[in-house]
């Protein structure tokens, strides 16, 4: 992959990367479209498909995470992807169990709260695999989704802090017609659970409506308590966190106003879903 990428760059082609864990949906494909547009006719788009073990906690869904490389390949081909980079664990983390891999990339500020708090080793896995992918694919741009808002902010910060010559592009969240954000994990939402998953979107809408009708900042603690009540009206839903923060620094705000960023994580049965929006 690295050799191929170097040859492309030498020939003057722009290279765009879309990192994914596969089981592709229209949200991923919207990132691919964006990458194709940005690199232009003569450019190359690489989609990486890798369920990265280092970003999953021991109790999480790594082994049952949905995988379908044959279907992903068809979707990528239709979308005009030039190369799928789908390494295996032994290639990405050689002799990992035997101490054969021991270098990690850690962002220390933006990754403290929210996802970082609920999933303590998650972002260390993300920033490490993203740094590896940048070194392997050598893209001049990489497209990430706003669905993982904190992740996109951390990747931007890491690329800047470590001088990766990569432009990070963040594309908007793609949703189902009823407002559920597309996610590979939606596959887990059997029967009743699919409808209950709408509490995430409903919480974002409720917060937005409250902010729009209030002339003063709303105390974050009060809004959090209200949303927790709303969410837990769905019998299978359990709130992990809801946070209100400044969109660039990710610093929590005491008072919520128009322009505050909101993010939340909710368990629907065993499935943990996330969503976010600018209020
Ligand atoms: P994943 O395969 O879940 O790791 O996601 C790969 C990339 O696709 C990440 O940058 C995600 O933020 C992005 N992504 C996932 N779901 C969506 C969505 N519904 N809309 C836009 N981007 C998404």
Q: For every one of its 279 residues, what pLDDT tens digit does the chain have, with 9 covering 90 and above?
A: 999 999 999 999 999 999 999 999 999 999 999 999 999 999 999 999 999 999 999 999 999 999 999 999 999 999 999 999 999 999 999 987 788 899 999 999 999 999 999 999 999 999 999 999 999 999 999 999 999 999 999 999 999 999 999 999 999 999 999 999 999 999 999 999 999 999 999 999 999 999 999 999 999 999 999 999 999 999 999 999 999 999 999 999 999 999 999 999 999 999 999 999 999
SS3 state at 244 = strand
Please give the Cα distance from 66 to 249 (Å, whole number).
33
Confidence at residue 133, expressed as pLDDT on a 0 to 100 scale: 98
User: What spacing in Å lies between the alpha carbon of 64 and ligand 1's midpoint?
Assistant: 18
Residue 181 structure tokens: 């954000």
Please tell me what DSSP assigns to residue 175. Answer: B
Backbone angles phi, psi at 57, to 5 degrees: -80, 165
Count of beta carbons in the 10 Å neighbourhood of residue 101: 14
Write down the pLDDT at residue 99. Answer: 81
Distance 148 CA to ligand 1 centre (A): 7
In this prediction, residue 100 carries a pLDDT of 86
Asked whether 129 lines ligand 1 (CB < 6 A), one says no
Per-residue pLDDT at 152: 98
Active-site positions?
Answer: 28
Whether 148 lines ligand 1, by a CB cut-off of 6 Å, is yes
What pLDDT sits at residue 97? 74
Closest CA to 56 of 83, 102, 89: 89
**DSSP secondary structure code for residue 51 in this structure:** -
Question: Residue 141: its pLDDT value, please?
Answer: 98
In angstroms, the CA 44 to CA 5 distance is: 9
How large a percentage of the chain has pLDDT more than 70? 100
Rounded to whole angstroms, the Cα distance separating 201 from 4 reads 42
């Amino acid at each position: 992959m690295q050799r191929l990428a170097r040859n492309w760059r030498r020939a003057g082609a722009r290279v765009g990367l879309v990192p994914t864990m596969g089981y592709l949906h229209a949200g991923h494909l919207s990132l691919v479209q964006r990458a194709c547009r940005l690199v232009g006719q003569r450019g190359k788009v690489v989609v990486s498909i890798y369920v990265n073990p280092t970003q999953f906690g021991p109790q999480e869904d790594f082994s049952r995470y949905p995988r379908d490389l044959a279907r992903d390949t068809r979707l990528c081909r239709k979308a005009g992807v030039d190369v799928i980079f789908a390494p295996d664990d032994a290639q990405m983390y050689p002799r990992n169990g035997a101490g054969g891999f021991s270098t990690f990339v850690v962002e220390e500020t933006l990754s403290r709260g929210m996802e970082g708090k609920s999933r303590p080793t998650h972002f260390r896995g993300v920033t490490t695999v993203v740094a590896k992918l940048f070194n392997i694919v050598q893209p001049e741009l990489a497209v990430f989704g706003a669905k993982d808002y904190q992740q996109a902010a951390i990747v931007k910060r890491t690329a800047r802090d470590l001088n990766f010559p990569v432009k990070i592009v963040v594309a908007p969240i793609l949703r189902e017609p009823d407002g559920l954000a597309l996610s590979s994990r939606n596959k887990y939402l059997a029967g009743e659970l699919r409808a209950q998953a709408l509490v995430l979107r409903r919480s974002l809408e409720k917060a937005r409506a409250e902010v729009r009708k209030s002339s003063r900042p709303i105390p974050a603690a009060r809004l959090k308590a209200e949303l927790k009540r709303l969410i837990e009206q769905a019998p299978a839903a359990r709130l992990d966190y809801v946070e209100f923060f400044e969109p660039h620094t990710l610093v929590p705000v005491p008072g919520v106003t128009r322009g505050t960023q909101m993010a939340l994580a909710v368990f629907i049965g065993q499935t943990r879903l996330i969503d976010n929006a600018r209020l």
